[in-house]
Chain A
Amino acid sequence: MKTASPPVTAVTFTGKRRAEVAARWVSLTGAAAILVVLAYMIIQLFQTSWPIWKAHGVGWIFGSTWNPAGGVFGALPFIYGTLVTSAIALVVATPIGVGTALFVSELAPVKLRRPVASVIDLLAAVPSVIYGLWGILVFVPLIRPAQNLLATHLGGHIPFLAPPSPGPGFLAAGLVLAIMVLPTISAVSREVFLTIPRDVREAAYALGSTKWEVIRMAVLPGARSGIIGGVILGLGRALGETVAVLLVIGDVSAISKSLFAPGYSMAAVIANEFREATEPLHIEALVGIALVLFVITVLIDMGARLLVHRTAARA
């Protein structure tokens, strides 16, 4: 609950009263400035990319060929790459994130709780570029033999695992993203579990439940929408992650069914091509992709936070 500040006393002199009013307005400006800047960002991105929206409507985003040299701009390969890597990241990170949160809030002895939680949160402090560096120089060579093995033996039967598997690709990027997204899901789930009142758990124990049954029946149901909120927050993060994905996904603008194949993502293509984009249309296309990414992540983020707030408020 936020503490309310007591009202200004009536015994201030005019000069002090003016200073008072000024202080109020100055701080209000500081707060409102955030809204102004956010609005300006959307407007500016839209304005810069306007020509390409005007010329090609909304459909150009779903074109499947991206060829700046030839003047063809279709963003579908990037949307595909972004979605696939984010999906992999969530599928891997959600069980692990929820599992660690359950461990910290339900299983761990009280002394262990803070340290374990802190260590997991430390994953979030590592900069994206270092994940990328480690990803391309250590992680990818590590999983390449396994990928090749799966590809050669199972690739004929399962299209997801088809060769070629040069190393960098959707799966590698998805796994690195999973590590990066994991602390978000874990932290939100942990907070949500803490809001479940003790009585619910104790009632379940009183009925003779095992620890897991208590979790399954008493803790998880009430926490469900909060966990979903955390997962969606993680999704928002995964969608926008740039440098780590850029270094590990292979940077090939192609749509491929195989998880081992190299691909591209929206954030990665913006990062890679922006510096050398000289033609206005190229820049406009990239800014257009940025606008789409911006709107999608903001909407997803807003939805996730509303979900989490609502769960916390209900408790």
Chain B
Amino acid sequence: MKAPSTRRKLVDRTMLALMGAAVLVAIVPLVAILVEVLLKGIGAVRGLGFFTQAPPGDPTSPAGGIGNAIVGTLLMVAGASVVFIPLGILGAIYLVEYGPGTRLARVVRFFTEVMTGIPSIIFGVFVFTVLVLRTHHFSGWAGALAIGLIMWPIVVRTSEEILVRVPTTVREASMALGIPKYKTILKVVLPSAAAGLTTGCMLAVARAAGETAPLLFTALGNQFMSYSMGQPISAMPLEIFNDATSPYPAAVARGWATAFVLIALILVLTLVARFVTARRGG
């Protein structure tokens, strides 16, 4: 067999080098962003007060913190999760247990995927027209609904993928013992899929916690510490958004610090979820 000509070898080496270069080009921004957020963010976190206090009234002051944003994010994510995680798992149960192969299941599965691709701002506009326009004020509930709609298709899809992996033998064994189907799902299938379902929800929460656009005109944001979901409420992404364009260095620093906290939260959720999935041979 003839060895490849020098020209072919050269082309080969060049293209392979380009592919390696592509990987480097892809990784550089990620590292750059993480490093920047870490460096600029850590500096602005002055003690535990940062996590418990609201921003100072005086925008030039470096005191205060993002306690209101953290509380807001937690409340809205919790509100969204309480409704849309069970709803999503329910939908996944239909897709896997009661309706596989039916046309409805195929259509639902397809449009659930499509729903994950809808720009998040559209959900914000939708919730605005449905809730905010009718009740005439912005609120944490509206924000929670917008975030929930974003979480919903993610929960359905990840849950579906997990439930499908539960071996049929487990279900069959349970039914052979006379346990009806619904109890099998409740007491056998769901518990054995619990770890996977949890990681799916963690990914959905990680995504929801970072969304800004749907909150801009639903939760609106709030400079003060507030635990009331019926009123405008702050959130970490909103805080970052407002600080990014602020002319005051103290506010910008607070933005970096908030970015640090937010990205730490998201990274922890994402990496733990990935680690659990990888360990179970996912």
A interface residues, Cβ below 8 angstroms from B: 2-6, 8-9, 11-12, 16, 19-20, 22-24, 26-35, 37-38, 41, 44-45, 48, 95-100, 102-104, 107, 114, 116, 118-120, 122-123, 125-134, 136-138, 179, 182, 186, 208-213, 215, 233, 236-237, 239-243, 247, 267, 270-271, 274-275, 286-287, 290, 293-294, 297-298, 301-302, 305
Contact = CB atoms under 8 A, between A and B. Distances in A.
Would you list the 5 A-B pairs with minimal beta carbon distance, nearest first? A240-B119, A127-B210, A99-B22, A30-B90, A23-B182
B112 interface: yes
Contacts of B274: 118
B224 interface: no
A11 B177 CA distance: 11
Given A9-B175, A28-B104, A275-B220, A239 B213 contact: no
A20 B98 CA distance: 10
B111 to A, nearest CB: 6
B49 interface: no
B220 A301 contact: no
6 contacts: A3-B164, A8-B181, A34-B111, A35-B108, A107-B20, A242-B212
A240 B243 CA distance: 23
A240 B101 contact: no
Interface in B240-280: 240-241, 243-245, 252, 255-256, 259, 262-263, 266-267, 270, 274, 278
Given A24-B98, A123-B26, A240-B121, A137 B91 contact: no
Contacts of A103: 19-20, 22-23
Interface stretch (B29-37, B52-60, B74-82): B29-37
B90 A236 contact: no
Contacts of A267: 119, 121, 213
Given A127-B212, A130-B240, A302-B114, A270 B125 contact: yes
Contacts of A31: 90-91, 94-95, 99, 104-105, 108, 156
A99 B87 CA distance: 39
B152 to A, nearest CB: 7
Given A103-B20, A211-B12, A130 B262 contact: yes
Nearest to B239: A129
Given A3-B164, A5-B100, 5 more contacts: A6-B175, A99-B19, A130-B33, A239-B119, A267-B119
A126 B263 contact: yes
A196 to B, nearest CB: 16
Contacts of A38: 111, 114-115
B267 A125 contact: yes
Please classify the interface of chain A as helix (H, G, I), strand (E, B), loop, or mixed, using the class held by over half of its residues.
helix
A309 B237 CA distance: 34
B107 A2 contact: no
Interface string B114-150: 1101111111011011100100000000000000010
B33 A134 contact: yes
A215 B1 CA distance: 20
A286 B185 CA distance: 45
B180 A12 contact: yes
A118 B36 CA distance: 20
Nearest to B21: A99
A34 B23 CA distance: 37
A208 B2 contact: yes
Interface string B1-40: 1101000110110011011111101110110110011000
B206 interface: yes
Given A32-B108, A138-B36, A298-B118, A6 B94 contact: no
Given A242-B120, A270-B121, A305-B113, A212 B26 contact: no
B153 interface: yes
Contacts of B252: 137
Contact of A30 (B15, B20, B23, B91): B91
Contacts of A287: 125, 129
A105 to B, nearest CB: 10
B96 interface: yes
A104 B22 CA distance: 11
B143 to A, nearest CB: 13
A5 B181 contact: yes
A244 to B, nearest CB: 9
A2 B96 contact: yes
Contacts of A209: 4
B216 interface: yes
A310 to B, nearest CB: 13
B197 interface: no
